[in-house]
Amino acid sequence: MTSQEKLGVTEKTNTRGLQIVRWVARLWAVGVISLVVVMNLAPDPVAGELSSTVTIHQVALALLFPGLYIAGWLLAWWREIAGGALMVLSFPLFIAYIALVQSAGRLTGAMVIVAVFVIVPGLLFLLTGYRSRNAGAS
């Protein structure tokens, strides 16, 4: 009798658990992406008039996050490990760019809290990808 049989864990329950975690990651990422889109489309009440010019820094920020994040999320539907890794890397690269270029090397506590909220779906995709790979190998 294997250790999984002793615990009452079968292949079916293990697969079902992975499916649940996979869908939590997908839906959580949709929430993050939706929030970012709303924040980018809403006018800034503090800024006053909207600027029609786009700077190279704004383009770089948009490519790092949410650009890479969305690309990772789409990739994770087929390649969970690669997509999850891209999602996890997108936000630290975004934060590093902000800290180095715009904030003179300063990180705030809010950046770290948001990073945790944003990175979790990518970590869940990595988890399900590795667990699926290991389940297929045995």
pLDDT for 44 equals 62
Report residue 119 as tokens. Answer: 């990175």
Residues 59-106 have pLDDT tens digits of: 877 888 888 999 999 999 999 999 999 999 998 888 888 777 766 666
Q: Between these two residues, 118 and 102, which has the higher pLDDT value?
A: 118
Domains of the chain: which residue ranges? 13-40+55-137
Distance CA 92, CA 96 (A): 6
Task: Name the pLDDT band for 7 (thresholds 50, 70, 90).
Answer: very low
Residues 41-61 have pLDDT tens digits of: 776 666 555 566 777 877 877
Q: Sign of dihedral through CA atoms 59, 65, 70, 72?
A: positive
